[in-house]
Each structure stands twice: as C-alpha cells, then as structure tokens.
C-alpha cells in the first residue's frame, strides 16, 4: 500500500434556490479542474439580501483531493 497525501481548498458556491444547490455547484465546478476529490464539508452558509428578500444562497465548501505533487 502506498502513502497518500491530500490537499484542502475552500470554494464558495452560489445559487438563487438553496444552500444545497450552492454547495453542489462548488463541488461540481471544482471537479472540472481537480481530480480525485475525496470529501466536501460545508463550512459556512449565508445569504445575499436585496430589499429585505433573499436573492442568493452562498455556501463555503472545504474540499479535499489527492495531492499529486512533484
């Protein structure tokens, strides 16, 4: 068995519909440029407000992926 190293990054996903969709958007976008995503953890959630109404859901997502450094 070989040893593995994992790296963490944080991304912010957005959605006009829900925090779940915002988190999913962050993970799916990360998957377009990173390989071997392992774990996604929602760290924070907030909302953008305009005229006392929610206009955008935001989720800060911490992602780990297998590090393939030099």
Q: Give the predicted TM-score (pTM) of the model.
A: 0.85
In a domain, 12, yes or no: yes
In a domain, 64, yes or no: no
For the stretch 10-45, pLDDT in tens is 999 999 999 999 999 999 999 999 988 999 999 999
CA dihedral (5, 29, 41, 13) positive or negative? positive
CA 24 – CA 47 distance, rounded (Å): 16
In a domain, 29, yes or no: yes
The answer to whether the beta carbons of residues 7 and 58 sit under 8 Å apart is: no
| Chain Cα centroid distance, residue 67 | 17
In a domain, 41, yes or no: yes
Q: Which domain holds residue 42?
A: 6-57
In a domain, 49, yes or no: yes
Number of domains in the chain: 1
Beta strands, E only, the chain: 6-15, 37-50, 53-66
In a domain, 66, yes or no: no
Does residue 58 carry a pLDDT above 80? Answer: yes
């Amino acid at each position: 068995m070989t040893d593995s190293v994992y790296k963490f990054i944080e991304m912010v996903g957005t959605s006009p519909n829900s925090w779940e969709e915002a988190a999913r958007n962050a993970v799916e976008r990360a998957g377009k440029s990173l390989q071997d995503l392992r774990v996604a953890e929602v760290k924070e959630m907030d909302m953008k407000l305009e005229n006392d109404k929610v206009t955008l859901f935001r989720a800060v997502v911490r992602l780990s992926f297998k590090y393939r450094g030099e």
